[in-house]
Amino acid sequence: MSKMRFLTQAAAGLGFTALAGLAMAQTAPGDAQTIAQGKYLATAGDCAACHTAPGGQPMAGGLAIQTPFGKIIAPNITPDKATGIGNMSDAEFIKALKQGIGHSGHLYPAMPYVYYNKVPDDQILAIRAYLNTLKPVDHKVVSDQLPFPYNIRAAMIGWNLLFFPDKGDFKPDASQSAAWNRGAYLVQGLEHCAACHTPKNALGGDETGHEFQGSIVDGMNAPNITASWNGIGSWSVQDIADYLKTGHNQYAVASGPMAEAVKNSTSQLTDADVKAMAVYIKSQAGAGGTAPAPVAANDPAMLAGAKIYNDECAACHTGSGMGKAGIFPALVKSPVVQADKPATLIGIVLHGGHGVGIPTAPTAPAMPSFGWLLSDQQIADVATYVRNSWGNAAPAVSADEVSKARAGKSN
C-alpha cells in the first residue's frame, strides 16, 4: 500500500484525473459528524499517500508516479473550483470512486475504484464532505502523461470487462463474526490491501485465486499475507494488529511503502478496526503447498554468507535469526526473507531501511546500508544464507540480481 502503484500496483486515491472544472453544483457543507466520519474514511482509504506531494499542500496532488506503462501525476483533490474538484457533483464523485468514470472518460485503475466499489454511497459522500473542508489550492496538475497507446482511455472499457466485476457494495457473510465482516470490508474496500498484496497479470488485473499472495510494488515485495508457508501463518491476530497499529511486532518492522501505509492510515484507525482487519487477514488460508528444499548448508554461498552474517548482521538480528522484538525484525519464517523474489531483502541490504514512527512511538528503528561495504556477490551470499537458515527455505540469490538492484533495475 504505497505511492508507486498503477495497473499492476494500484494506489490509494489516484484517478480523479480531469474531474475539475465542471459546471456542476458543489456538495453542500456537511455536518460535523459527517465530516469527522469522512476524515476517518479518507484516512482508511490512505488518500494522502498519493495526493499529497512531498513538501506540497495536503491533497493538492503533484506526486509523480512512475509506472510500468509511463508516468502519471496525482491530481489535485482539494475543493478548488478551477484546478481541484470543487465543481464536481456528488453523483460524479460517486461515479469516479466506485465505477472509475470521470469527466474525461474512464479512469485508470491507479485510482482503486475496483476496491472502493464496495464502499456504500453515503460513506463516499462523507469523504466528499471532508474534502470540502480542506483549503482550496490553486494547483493545476496534468495527471495523464502516459504515452500512446496507454493514453487511450477507451481501452479501459475492455479492461473493466475483464478485471472489474462491479459487484457493488460489500455484502456481509452471515456465517462470520461481526469483527470478521468489519475487517473484510476494510481490507477488501477502503484499505484496498489486494492492490499491493495480490499478484497482477500482464494487463494489471488481480490474479484470480491468488488473493493476498504477494506482489512487487515499486521494486519491493509486498509480501504474502496469507497463512501459506512463506506468508504470515505463524503470526497471531494480535501480531497482525500490532504490526498494523505500530508498524512492528515480534516478527517484523514495516519499512518502505508499508511504513507509509501504517503512518498515514492503519496507525490512525481505532483499535477495534485494526483488530477486525487482523481477524480477517488471519483467516486467509492462501494456496497451501510445501516449502522448497533449502539450499544445502555446505553450499559455497551458504558458507560465505554465514561468515558475512556473523560479522555484520548477528549483533542485531542475533545468531539465531530471531532479532529483538520491536527493534530488529526476526529473519526466521519472515515472508519478506522467504519471498519468491528477493527484491526487498536485496534492497534493504543495499540501501538500508527505516521503520515507521507514529505519535505513540516516534523513534523508529533503522538499518544501515551495506551497499558501500559489500560486493554484489557478498550481498547475494548473505541473502542466500538468511533465506535458507533457521528453518527458512527459498531460492538462492545471484550476484546478477544484486547488480541489477544496485543499478535501479527490477529483477
Q: What is the pLDDT of residues 326-351, one digit of tens each?
A: 788 899 988 889 988 898 899 999 99
The closest of 178, 160, 157, 86 to 128, measured between CA atoms, is 86
More confident: 156 or 331:
331
Tens digit of pLDDT for each residue in 52-90?
A: 998 899 999 888 777 667 777 888 999 999 999 999 999
Its pTM stands at 0.85
DSSP-assigned beta bridge partners for residue 215: 222
Q: At residue 114, does pLDDT exceed 80?
A: yes
CA distances (Å), origin 166, targets 35, 115, 161, 267, 355: 27, 9, 9, 29, 36
Q: At residue 387, does pLDDT exceed 70?
A: yes
Residue 410: band (very low, low, confident or very high) from pLDDT cuts 50, 70, 90? low
Residue 388, number of CB atoms within 10 A of its CB: 26
Residue 202, number of CB atoms within 10 A of its CB: 8
- Long-range Cβ contacts of 360-368 (<8 Å, 24+ apart): 360/246, 361/246, 361/247, 364/247, 364/253, 364/259, 365/248, 365/253, 365/326, 365/327, 365/328, 367/316, 367/328
Average pLDDT value for the chain: 86
> Per mean pLDDT, which range of 11-20, 142-151, 159-168 is the poorest?
11-20
More confident: 91 or 291:
91
Distance CA 33, CA 12 (A): 24
Tens digit of pLDDT for each residue in 165-207?
A: 877 899 999 999 999 999 999 999 999 999 999 998 888 889 9
**pLDDT value at residue 20:** 31
The residue count of the chain comes to: 411
When pLDDT is averaged across residues 373-381 and rounded to a whole number, the result is: 97
Residue 222 — φ and ψ, nearest 5°? Answer: -90, 105
**Which residues, other chains included, contact 387 with Cβ-Cβ below 8 Å and sequence gap of 6+?**
295, 337, 338, 342, 345, 393, 394, 395, 396, 397
